[in-house]
């Protein structure tokens, strides 16, 4: 099959709102691997640049590894976002309280004289 023949069904399904995952050897399916939401190249050649995910072992078990690592990366991203948000809110509240305390101290000094 030519690369265009494999690319057309992927584009057609994506046009209908489907999430597409495809795996192949990276030789004649480069277009489909690049077009799909998740493309996994099962190639022993290290220079497979068709997809962001490449497995040196030409087995379907690479799909499981990509899914597990993808979920771990998503979970780590959510945790980092939560930590950053809580830290930012804590800094904002602390700065706001400090400003109010300084403002009250300055107002008290004006009426003191």
CATH number at residue 2: 3.40.50.1000
The pLDDT assigned to 109 comes to: 66
For the whole prediction, is pTM greater than 0.75?
Answer: no
Q: How many residues are present in the chain? A: 113
Q: For residue 25, which of 6, 3, 47, 48 has the smallest C-alpha distance?
A: 48
Give the number of domains in the chain.
Answer: 2
The pLDDT assigned to 47 comes to: 46
Co-location of 64 and 112 in the same domain:
yes
Co-location of 34 and 86 in the same domain:
no
Co-location of 93 and 108 in the same domain:
yes
Domain that holds residue 87: 60-113
pLDDT band at 111 (very low <50, low <70, confident <90, very high): low
Provide mean pLDDT across the span 19-41. Answer: 81
Residue listed under structure tokens 């495809």 = 22
Q: From CA 43, how far away is CA 29, in angstroms rounded? A: 12
pLDDT of residue 76 exceeding 90, the answer is yes
The pLDDT assigned to 50 comes to: 63
Tokens of 87: 């830290």
Co-location of 47 and 65 in the same domain:
no
Co-location of 36 and 77 in the same domain:
no
Expressed in angstroms, the distance from the first to the final Cα of the chain is: 91
The pLDDT assigned to 88 comes to: 97
pLDDT of residue 9 exceeding 90, the answer is no
């Amino acid at each position: 099959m030519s690369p265009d023949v494999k690319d057309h069904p992927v584009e057609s399904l994506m046009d209908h709102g489907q999430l597409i995952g495809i795996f192949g050897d990276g030789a004649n399916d480069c277009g489909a691997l690049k077009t799909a939401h998740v493309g996994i190249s099962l190639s022993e050649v290290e220079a497979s640049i068709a997809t962001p995910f490449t497995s040196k072992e030409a087995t379907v078990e690479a799909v499981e590894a990509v899914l597990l690592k993808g979920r771990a990366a998503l979970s780590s991203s959510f945790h980092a976002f939560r930590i950053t948000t809580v830290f930012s809110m804590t800094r904002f509240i602390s700065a706001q309280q400090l400003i109010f305390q300084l403002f009250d101290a300055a107002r008290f000094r004006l009426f003191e004289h």
